[in-house]
Amino acid sequence: MHDEKIKVKTENGQVLDVVVYDKRPERIQVVLGEGVHSVKCELTPTRNGLAYAGSIMGRELVYERSRVQV
């Protein structure tokens, strides 16, 4: 089985590879970490529709793709 991975940017500029759990134009669910330490995060489109953003454990994540590109 092949897990789809995407690169998301944190608020301090760090780039993370995360596993995509579910992908739809209105939201992307991703999983950070592995095993018992994994955490799900929901990314939703920004107001201008040019990126997806979400928050996990107080940190903001941004996936810089538009709804059209997803």
When mean pLDDT is compared across 23-27, 34-38, 42-46, 66-70, the lowest value belongs to: 66-70
Residue 1 scores a pLDDT above 70 = no
pLDDT of residue 57: 87
pLDDT of residue 67: 83
Residue 35 dihedral angles phi and psi, to the nearest 5°: 65, -135
Q: How confident is the model at residue 24 (pLDDT cuts 50, 70, 90)?
A: very high
- Least Cα distance to 7 among 43, 39, 36 occurs for 43
